[in-house]
Structure 1
Amino acid sequence: MTLGKLSNLIELNLTDMKIRGEMPQFLANLTQLSSLVIYSNELVGQIPSWLMNLTKLTSLELTENQLHGMIPSAISQLKYLEWLNLDGNNLSSEVELDIFLKLQNLVVLELSGNKLTVVTKNITNATLPKFKVLGLESCNMKEFPNLLQFQDELELLFFDNDKIQGEKPTWFWNNTNENIREVQLGNNFLIGFEQHPDVIPWRSLLILDLSFNRLQGSLPIPPLSTIVYEVTGNSLSGEIPPSIICHNSSLKFLDLSNNNLSGTIPQCLPSFSDSLLVLNLSHNNFHGTIPNMIGINLKMIDLSQNQLHGLVPRSLENCTMLEILLLGNNQMEGTFPSWLGALPKLQVLIL
């Protein structure tokens, strides 16, 4: 019996099956399907119109194929759809975000990694889908869609590699602060904040990427829940607020490199470095000495291209997991720290 004759089938997962060619026509017969997953195959052609006949779909995932052309506006007819993932194809043309807002049950929308231009309208009606995941990476967006004002259940937000300009609007901070766990805003043209928060008010945040924008002013302080914090490649200035390093026992990845930050590296670093895996403060204007670091889990330390002086701290010999240590282009003094040769995993050393 072929799959096309299984007319009562409700779930079909064809992940990584090396399926080639256009979407199989027999799928049109499976009108009872609630979940269709054709992930990581070699599908080509356009999204077929007959797909809209599968009116009971709640989940549609066509991720990582080679589909091209438009996203048909008729996709808004799939009124039970909760999960739509079209990531990693070659879909192109302009698409209005409005067509997805008609899907009242939609909680996951992933359009990243295509060649789309997503355009939005000013939303005044708060009767919208309540998204948990909104993935619009590399979608040529020029502004934050104001529908975010009404999203108080959002958990994952991917707007990196877009063309978003100007300042983050004040309302951007006002919602989703209970649930949001990951925010990716890297590689845009953001310059700052309409209202600079003392501490970013997303209390469950784990990952925040603001790298490679044009942010100016003082360093935004992430909440204590943050594990990964990246702001490399901006024009941020001022000192590192001690609260980022001294009170956050969760942080594992801290990258403040390629900014205009100054002052000294907070001396409370030893109490913080146990949790840290990666510390990158390179290409700034830090001065003073390097604090003692005793982080047993540290794998990378990059303090290069600053104005640091003094001795290489002997406490680094306790960082037994260290693989990369970059201290070049500073004003370090003393004799060569030969004791670094005892570090069992050290692979890259630049003094």
Structure 2
Amino acid sequence: MSLTEFPKLSGKVPILKILYLSNNKLKGRVPTWLHKMDSLSALSLSHNMLTTPMDQFSRNYQLTILDLSFNLLTGSISSSICNASSMESLFLPHNKLTGIIPQCLVNLPYLQVLDLQMNKLYGTLPSTFSRNNRLSTLNLNDNQLEGILPESLSNCTLLEVLNLGNNQIEDTFPHWLQKLPYLKVLVLRANKFHGLIASFKTNHGFPSLIVFDISSNDFSGPIPKAYIQNFEAM
């Protein structure tokens, strides 16, 4: 049996730290009382049919985990979401979000996972990834992002997964990503990357990389042996 609407509450809002209402048939907007739950740290409403504007969740300052994946969210990601300064994981994939990615989002001090894949986001990647950030997963697959990759991505020294596939990014191969010691998954497929993969900038390869997908681009030349010595998939 699936929920089709949120519980109706009047009076005092319950004190909860974790609320999971995923995989139901909830529609429309989330109720006002949910945004008044000051104790809530983890909220999952994934796999529903919600159309709530993203800026509504900026009222939940204390959230560390927010999962709104697989809904019908539209509009842009407001920079007000960054008011949740303790956010550790933000999941918004498989919606209909448009607009640019707010710069402040990638500079949240505790953010580890940012998943925005399968939306309609456009513009360039945020230009500045701050030093000492905690990002371990950045998934922007299947949007409409363009421009070049900011070299400040190399500041994400804890990054393990970088998926930028199926966008319109136009750049040469980002050799400087070799600086990332924990990078395991690098997906650049189906973009507009071009030029040689091997160059004088090729040093010792990617020490932890096991998945490397650069298909459907316009690269030329051989792949350096140092890049593939640890690979499990290409």
Q: TM-score range by the shorter chain?
A: 0.7 to 0.9
Please name the residue that 2:220 is paired with: 309
Q: State the Cα RMSD in Å.
A: 2.5
1:24 match: none
Aligned to 2:183: 276
Contact 1:225 1:250 in 2 (8 A): yes
Contact 1:288 1:308 in 2 (8 A): yes
Give the C-alpha shift of residue 171 in structure 1: 1.5
SS at 2:13 equivalent: coil
1:261 paired with 2:169, answer yes
Change (3 A) 1:126 1:116: closer
Alignment correspondent of 1:169? 78
Q: How far is 1:92 from its partner?
A: 3.2
Q: Which residue matches 2:9? A: 99
Alpha-carbon contact 2:165-2:189 (below 8 Å) kept: yes
Q: Measure, in 1, the Cα distance between the counterparts of 2:194 and 2:119.
A: 25
2:103 partner amino acid: P
Match of 2:125 in 1: 219
The question of 1:117 aligning with 2:17 is answered no
Gap change, CA 1:95 and 1:199, over 3 Å in 2: closer
After TM superposition, give the deviation of residue 102 of structure 1 in Å. Answer: 4.3
1:172 deviates by 1.7
Where 1:172 maps in the other structure, the secondary structure is helix
Which of 209, 217, 237 is 2:115 aligned to? 209
Please report how far the alpha carbon of residue 238 of structure 1 lies from its aligned counterpart in structure 2 after TM superposition.
Answer: 0.4
Residue 233 of structure 2, aligned match among 324, 329, 338: 324
* C-alpha spacing 1:111/1:270, structure 2 compared with 1 (3 Å): same
After TM superposition, give the deviation of residue 311 of structure 1 in Å: 2.1
TM-score (norm 1): 0.59
Identify unmatched segments of 5+ residues in structure 1: 1-67, 69-90, 326-351
2:224 counterpart letter in structure 1: P
Per the TM alignment, residue 296 of structure 1 is displaced from its structure 2 partner at its CA by: 2.7
Out of 129, 150, 154, the position equivalent to 2:38 is 129
Which letter maps to 1:169?
A: S
In percent, how many aligned pairs have the same letter? 25
Mark the CA change 1:147 to 1:258 in structure 2 (over 3 Å): closer, same or farther.
closer
- Greater Rg, structure 1 or structure 2? 1
Cα displacement (A) at 1:247: 1.9
Partner amino acid, structure 1, of 2:159: L
CA distance in 2, matches of 1:135, 1:154: 11
Distance in 1, Cα, partners of 2:39 & 2:53: 17
* 1:232 to 1:278, Cα distance in 2 relative to 1, 3 A: same
Higher relative contact order (CA 8 A, sep 6+): 2
Q: 1:100 to 1:116 in 2, by over 3 A?
A: farther
Residues 254-298 of structure 1: CA deviation (Å, up to 9, x unaligned) = 0000000011122312222x3111100000000122253622321
Work out whether residues 232 and 257 of structure 1, in 8 Å CA contact, stay in contact via their aligned partners in 2.
yes
Distance verdict in 2 for CA 1:196–1:156, change over 3 Å: closer
Pick aligned residue for 1:233 from 142, 148, 169: 142
Runs of 4+ in 1 over 4 A off after TM superposition: none
